[in-house]
Structure formats: structure tokens, C-alpha cells
Copies of this chain bind each other. A is one copy, B any other.
Amino acid sequence: MIGNRTLAVPGPTNMPPRIASAMAVPLEDHRAPDMADFILPLLADLKQIFRTQTGTVLVFPGSGTGGWEAALRNTLDAGDRVLGASFGQFSMLWMDMCRQLGLNATTIECNWGDAPTIDAYRRVLEADKSHSIKAVLVCQNETATGVTTDVAAIRRMMDDLGHPAMLFVDGVSSIAAIEFNMDAWGVDIAVAGSQKGFMMPTGLAIVGVSERVMQNVQERTGRIYGRSGGCGYWDFATMAEANSTGYFPYTPAMTLLHGLRESVDMLQEEGLDNVFARHNRLAEGVRRAVHGWGLRPCATDPATVSDTVTAIVVGDRHDANAVIRSAYRNYGVSFGGGLGAVTGKVFRIGHLGWLNETMVLQALGGAELAMRDVGIAFEPGSGVGAAVTYFTEQQATSLMAAE
């Protein structure tokens, strides 16, 4: 491919040069006498990204899938009951993992494109008078369909019901991009990955753990399989104990931690609220473009559309995978494919992380090229033009506000 590739998948995202530079360091001794000077502030600052004061953030060499597993193994025993929803590939896979790990999983099945309703969650919890459900699993942002769930509303409903279950959130494609408030929303475990809002390469599972859960795991003694020492690699208690001195129970991925340091610095410099507003603005530009082309998003309810990824339905007469192939082969543009139930029906534009208006326009331009190549009918420039119009209106508003 001649010229830069355009990365428009919902993770990995584009990497800022600052983060690339931060990771381009000589390898080092993770047991160096002064390592704690680096590690302790990093772990403290990560709490600000998760918006938790009482919780703890743990970082494992791994991926988001490992974070899912860590949540389950550290807190649940075989046979324990959990409640979640399946409304896309990733929410579905987390529920599958629950079953594979021997949990008793109740799954709210949704059409892909819909979000699970609060009522759907409420009905199951209300019926659970014995409080057999130990954990409620919520996928804040279903990466496969571009549909979000309202985590705060689920917590409010649980509180209304007085249900004591833990609340676990898959925030892999939302945290550090879409508003997330661990303490305010009463989240017990939140799972993020380095390759999304943190704008880094894959390789770190970043897990927020509430004070309640951390106390529980520290009180375990000698129990095996499921949530005792049996957690092994993902053990919260062992990790937290070593972290408290600024070290790790096994070799940490130091280069990625340097990237994470820079990532957290950048997020704090921009300000999380600004980060969220930017993602919303850029996402809205993409949605205007989709409308401009005469197409529609996979998300059926405008209230649940994702600010980090838009799945675009190409219509029955076209193969979305052909768009993806043309974009990749002819123009070096990577779009996300439809997964599972929506294979061939949608292509996905990721719009999260290190991103601005022109990067969005480049991705939209790439989509126009590829859609033309496969014969999808639309007015060339209509999508980009709609985004340009929206962005400049926003710019004008922001300039007026600044005056």
C-alpha cells in the first residue's frame, strides 16, 4: 500500500506520536529500586480516569477478554448466578464465558441493533427474591453494533429494588471515550483495554475494582478454583498487594506501562469531559454522513447510538464485506466488519481515541470511495459534506462561546 493506511476500526485506534515515543525506550529492570516512583502515581492517576476514589485500578498484561475473566474468577464460584444481556458479538461472548466458567448465566436476548432495556434487567432482578443473582453484567458499549446501555440507570434500578448483586461493566470500548463514573454509578468491576480510549497498542487489561470487591478478595483464604487463589494470573488480591509497594507479582509489560503513563497524561491534559464531548461531536459527524448517504445505522434507537463506533447497514442488495475489502485493498482503509449475526450486513466505522475532524473526514472519504466501487448508490461528497457542515457549525458555536 502506498501512503498511510487509514485505521477506522473500533480499536485498536490511532496511536498519538507522544505515546509511540513514550514506549520507544530501552528495556529496563522492573525491580529497580526506584520503580515505585513510576508505578504508584500511574495507578493513582488511573483512578481518575475510572472516576473512582475508593476503588482500585489494576493493570494486567493481557487483553480485555482477560479482564472479563478476571472479574468473574475473582468474585464468583462455580454455580453462582449472573445476569447479563446479549445484544451483539461482545456482550454475547462475555455471557458465553460465564457459562464456560461454570456460572449459572441468565441472558437477556436482544435483536442486534437494539439495546437491552432497563425493564428487561428489572424484570429478572425483581423476580429474584432470594437474591441468588450475584452479579449483573452490563456491556456499556456493544462494539459490534454501536449500541450503548445506560449503566447509571441500571444501578438506579438495582438500588430501587434493593438488590445486592455486584455490577460489572464491560467498558472496553467506552472507558476514556464515553462518560463513565465508577463511584457515582456504583460499579463493582469495570473492564477496559489499552487499545481503545487509551489510544495504545493492545496488551493491557485495565480493571477497576470497587472497595467492596477488593475487601472480599482480600478476605479469601485458601479457597480453590473460582474465586480463591485459583484466580492465578488474574488474582486481584495478589496484584493489589504487590502494587501497594509499587511492584508486581510477575513481570509487568513495562513498555506498555510507559505508554499508559503518557495516555493518562494526555487524557488529563485534554480533560475527560472534553474527551467525551469530542467523541460525541466526531460521532455526530459520522452519523450525519450516514444520513447524507441515505443509509442508516445498525442502532435502532437514536438514544442508544454509540459515540465510539457506528455500524452502518448497507441494505439487502449489497455485501458490506465487499465494502470492507475494497476499502482495504484499493485504499488502505480498515473498517470493522459485521460480526456474527450481522456479517455482511454492516460495516463499522470506529471513531474513538486519537481522532479529530479531518481524520473522520478521511475515513468518511474512504467509505465513499469503497461504496462507489461496489455500486452502492449515493451522491459523492454527500456524507463528507454533511459532516463538514456539522463540524463547521459546531466550530462557529464554539467560537461564539469563546467570545
Contact = CB atoms under 8 A, between A and B. Distances in A.
Interface of A: 1-7, 9, 11-15, 17, 20-22, 24-34, 60-66, 69, 73, 78, 97, 99-102, 193, 195, 201-203, 224-226, 228-230, 232-234, 249-256, 270, 278, 292, 324-325, 328-334, 336-337, 354-359, 361-366, 368-369, 372-373, 379-389, 391-392, 395-396
A234 B173 CA distance: 22
Contact of A101 (B9, B15, B100, B224): B224
A110 to B, nearest CB: 22
A28 B388 contact: no
Contacts of A30: 12, 202
B395 A31 contact: no
Contacts of A330: 395
Given A2-B270, A373-B392, 10 more contacts: A6-B358, A7-B29, A12-B254, A21-B21, A100-B228, A201-B254, A361-B365, A368-B384, A380-B386, A381-B388
A47 to B, nearest CB: 23
Report how many copies the assembly holds. 4
A332 to B, nearest CB: 6
Contact of A229 (B62, B64, B100): B100
29 contacts: A2-B354, A2-B356, A3-B358, A4-B356, A4-B358, A9-B29, A17-B25, A21-B21, A30-B202, A31-B336, A33-B324, A33-B328, A62-B62, A78-B225, A100-B229, A100-B232, A101-B224, A102-B225, A201-B254, A202-B254, A202-B255, A203-B256, A331-B356, A332-B358, A358-B366, A365-B387, A368-B384, A380-B381, A380-B389
Contacts of A34: 328
A23 to B, nearest CB: 8
Contacts of A334: 28-29, 32
A203 B255 contact: yes
Contact of A385 (B97, B252, B324, B382): B382
A121 B5 CA distance: 44
Given A27-B7, A203-B253, A372 B358 contact: no
Given A362-B361, A373-B395, A251 B7 contact: no
